[in-house]
Structure 1
Amino acid sequence: MVRQTGATLTGQEGAVADAAVVVVAVGRDHYDHLPIALLQGKVLVDVSNNTERRKGPHYRSNAEYLQGLVQEAHVVKGFNVLSAYALENGGLQGSKEVFLAGDHTEAKSKVSAMARAMGLNPVDWGGLAAARDIEDVPLRLMPSWRRPVAVVFGIFVFLWILAFFSFQICRNLESGQWHENWKHIPMRNFNRVIAITALWTLAFCYIPGTWRSTPVFLTFVTTTTPSVVGPCLHNPPPPFTSSTKIFISKQS
């Protein structure tokens, strides 16, 4: 099976001895089992990731720890932020950027050339100390979403409070009954608030739409719809009561 793929079957020592660039694709806990003597003088590409964020004055990244074990080698941190799905699909999905960090310029140039040959875009982050930040990248959970989520949640809370006063407090003060409109909170309040929040957030996306590619009519509609639809949803017409039915029947 190996011969059919065109590869050559060899051991760990033979593979390392004939290679100028070695990709270390094992975790930090297994670095001590590497053939340290054979890795001296090589360009080592550390692709490992952290399982948790490590901070502190004595903290060393996986790449720095590997450099301490193989002091005569040139360790370059890279390829750890690539998605396996992106690699499987030929880089068509996901980011193509490869963050690199290393203290040896020539070693980083070799790894950069290897990344470009794979159709990827190498990005130099500086010395090997930058590997601490690179290794933390996969542990981040949607860092750019925190502020937008907070803004949308704030809009939702504001509109829900407004709807609560409009449908429950004001209506009950007018009718003098404090039990009739509470049942509408799960459905009417939430449905309308969610709809208005969606319209507002859509409008916020198009308000700065001064780009030529954005149609003028679409910008106008998305910016004016919340101001027109919002008050209508928050202030619906009065309920169709029995007295209204009697009045309509008399008129007809």
Structure 2
Amino acid sequence: MTNTLKAPPSDPDTPPPASPLLRFYRSSIGKKLISGFTGLALVTFVLVHMVGNLLLFVGRDAYNAYALLVSNFSLVYYAFELALTAIVLLHAWIGIEIFWRRRQARLQGYSTYQSVGGTSYQTLSSRTMIVTGSVLAVFWVVHLKTFRFGTYYATELGGDTVRDLARLVIETFQSLPYVLGYSVILVLLASHLRHGFWSALQSIGLLDAKLRPLAYGTSAVVGIGIATGFLLLPWAIYLGLVG
């Protein structure tokens, strides 16, 4: 008789091994890479969005034509919106998980922040990322409600009836409370980008010791530059320079 080897019976209480993708997601390196790539994707979107906003300085027709061009891509446009929503949610969730892991690893908070050697990159921006990120996430919902799903005005453009998004933007930024609130949000955006941009590059392995100081300084320029670009339009509208 031939003896055959039998595998030991599996324990029904033992969970099946996690997939490589899930193990990657759960790892610290995986979370940093996901946070870095999604962060850079969002920085790119915000920069393009800022440039699009500045078209209102050219004129209402130019701004409405840009909005019409974007929306005319139909299925691609909606697919992009879904992808952007997924990226925002994933970036926010990863940020919360990283923050929570750090809190769990440090049972007691530090009263001061001190470098253990070399240049310290600890700033107010880095220590408040979870706060600025949370506020920006809430603002993103409000911003969509105000403009993406806001009042539909119609206007003529090239013989066709299109949405007059320029009118909605101008009416919205004629309100001082909205302009002031928008300005506060953009200060928080500048702070978030101040740390987030160079940290994303660091997370995906694009920085070494020599490039890190340059990226650190560039990050401040990117954050302040994007925030300033967004601030130009609402204040110009409120002051009557665009209308």
Q: Which interval holds the TM-score relative to the shorter structure?
A: under 0.3
Could you say which structure has the higher helix fraction? Answer: 2
Q: What TM-score comes out, normalization by structure 1 length?
A: 0.26
Q: TM-score normalised to the size of structure 2?
A: 0.27
Q: Which has the higher contact order (CA 8 A, sep 6+)?
A: 2
Q: Which has the larger radius of gyration?
A: 1
